[in-house]
A = this chain, B = another copy of it.
Amino acid sequence: MNEEEQKLNEVLMLFYFGYRTFTEKPDQMIEKYGIQRVHHRILFFIARIPGITVNDLLSIIEVSKQALNAPLRQLYEKGLITMVQADYDKRYKQLYLTEKGKLLESELSHVQHEQMKNIFTSLGGNHQEAWIDVMKELSRVRPGQKQFQALLKENLEK
């Protein structure tokens, strides 16, 4: 096996281990709320796009509506999100974080922010930019990512 192959194998391994570390802390934190990683993802995306509809949210996360429904209801029951009938079309339900939800989401994001920030600053240079560039290339093809960008743009224009 040549050196490039070895390096690429290291990349595969690092992706596995890196992602595991990345999700570890929030996973532990939300345990005591009786929720899981899906719920965290939902909170994250609602925080980025307040007022997002159910359909848009499931397009972003790329799961079926049945898979989203239960976690969404659980978040509602735990008082972490609210659902508001849209006045421009009563079929749509708009999702928002409650104050409690905002607090939890920001705590979870904060932990991950700190973790990544510490690494980026300790490595210095343009490590952050380079890492982002690589991950953007991977994300480019995701339908969910495209949907997210479109909604973000819409939100800014309003």
Chain A interface (Cβ within 8 Å of chain B)?
A: 4-5, 7-22, 41, 44, 48, 62, 109, 112-113, 115-117, 119-120, 122-123, 125-128, 130-139, 141-142, 144-145, 148
Complex: A33 Cα to B96 Cα, angstroms? 42
Complex: A135 Cα to B13 Cα, angstroms? 10
Complex: A112 Cα to B109 Cα, angstroms? 29
Interface of A, secondary structure class, is helix
Q: How many copies are assembled?
A: 2
List, in ascending order, chain B residues with CB within 8 A of A144's CB: 17, 20
B138 touches A134 (CB 8 A): no
B44 touches A139 (CB 8 A): no
Closest to A118 in B: B137
For the complex with contacts A14-B136, A127-B133, 18 further pairs of A-B residues with Cβ separation under 8 Å are: A4-B117, A9-B48, A9-B113, A11-B132, A11-B135, A12-B112, A12-B116, A13-B44, A13-B48, A13-B145, A13-B148, A17-B142, A20-B144, A21-B138, A21-B139, A119-B137, A123-B137, A127-B130
**12 contacts across the A-B interface (CB closer than 8 A):** A7-B128, A8-B112, A8-B117, A11-B113, A12-B113, A15-B22, A16-B41, A17-B145, A19-B19, A20-B62, A119-B137, A119-B138
State how many angstroms separate the Cβ of A57 from the closest Cβ of chain B. Answer: 14
List, in ascending order, chain B residues with CB within 8 A of A21's CB: 138-139, 141-142
Closest to A145 in B: B17
List, in ascending order, chain B residues with CB within 8 A of A116's CB: 8, 11-12
